[in-house]
Amino acid sequence: MDESLRIITAKESGERIDALLARSVEDLSRSAAQHLIEEGRVTLDGLPLRKNYKVRAGDEFELLLPPPADVPLLPQEMALDVVFEDADVIVVNKPRGLVVHPAPGHPDGTLVNALLWHCGDSLSGIGGEKRPGIVHRIDKDTSGLLIVAKNDLAHQRLSAQLADRSLSRVYEAIVRGGFREDEGTVDRPIGRHPTDRKRMAVLASGRNAVTHWQVLCRYRDHTHIRCQLETGRTHQIRVHMASIGHPLLGDGAYGAPSPEKGLAGQCLHARCLKFVHPRSGEAIRLETELPPYFLEVLSKLGNPIE
């Protein structure tokens, strides 16, 4: 695969070049950006830069990205909390902090590596070489239920359920602030953030996105809510709740102080999953308990408000 050239323009002055690169290029960490700078792959007016260079508004940088390394996807023995499993489907309760599939910065130690150890060759190939069996994803710092297909038939039929919205996913979250209403719906399109490629945003040009929410318990400065996805856009709950002034507790990417209440990421758990079994046609409903980190946060919020 050939190297690729990216042009990155600084909109404001004062930021370090490595920070600008990490913010502008999806899946590029700051340490990886520093390595590219040290290799001379980042230039301004044809001249290489130092990693502590402070950018000026209007600077136009050329970034020469190397071809991605061909890292084999290997099985790795890791503990899995299996909630349901048969010849077609496996549903796991993913812990907080576990990346779902390999990506730049996370070549191994992912859920997919663990699934390859657990399932052997029994994962569908539709998700591609790096995402075998993966029908849908949840973020690294989101915990909860994730369904994985063991063969192509299961993958096709589960993906169809995602598309026609018959595969139901219900989450619980803790958000900042209080609600006057007991329930509501956020219907706002979501697309890639125009300047920060690691984030999503509510955009008129984005894809249709609908989240239904319901208050479970009110606290002084926070609210415990249930969210049901009608669509499944990247970071949907996080973006939608932030867009109405209620960012998820601990979600520094979308407006909440982080770390907060001891959290280094959003307080979000995929609690309930409903689907039609891809082979038998049986309606299946699975639910998990709230994980310890979530319960610990609830205990720190004080007494509920009646």
Q: Residue 304: is the preceding peptide bond cis (ω within 30°)? A: no
pLDDT at 7 (0 to 100): 87
Q: Enumerate the CATH 3.10.290.10 domain ranges in the chain, comma separated.
A: 4-65
Mean residue pLDDT of the chain comes to 89
**pLDDT per position as a tens digit, 180-200:** 999 999 999 999 888 777 789
Write out the catalytic residue numbers: 139
Give ranges for CATH 3.30.2350.10 in the chain.
69-164, 166-306
The stretch 111-120 carries a mean pLDDT of 91
4-65 has which fold?
3.10.290
Instruction: Give the confidence band of 1 by pLDDT, cuts at 50, 70, 90.
Output: very low
Q: Is the pLDDT of residue 146 over 90?
A: yes
pLDDT score of 45 more than 80: yes
Q: Is the pLDDT of residue 2 over 60?
A: no
- pLDDT of the residue at 101: 84
Pick the CATH number of 166-306 from 3.30.2350.10, 3.90.1150.170, 1.10.1060.10, 3.40.50.620: 3.30.2350.10
Across the range 43-56, mean pLDDT stands at 90
Mean pLDDT of all residues in 81-104: 92
Q: Stretch 9-13: mean pLDDT, rounded?
A: 87
Per-residue pLDDT, averaged over 283-289, amounts to 97
Mean pLDDT along residues 135-160: 93
pLDDT tens figures, 248-278: 999 988 987 767 887 878 999 999 999 999 9
- Taking the C-alpha atoms of residue 288 and residue 127, their distance in angstroms, rounded to an integer, is 25
> Per CATH, the architecture of 69-164 is what?
2-Layer Sandwich (3.30)
* Contact residues for 211 (Cβ-Cβ < 8 A; gap 6+): 185, 186, 227, 228, 229, 230, 236, 237, 240, 241
Q: Are 56 and 10 in contact (CB under 8 A)?
A: yes
CA distance 186 to 202: 11
Number of C-beta neighbours around residue 58 at 10 A: 10
The 10 Å Cβ neighbour count of residue 266 is: 30
The rounded percent of the chain whose pLDDT value lies above 90 is 61
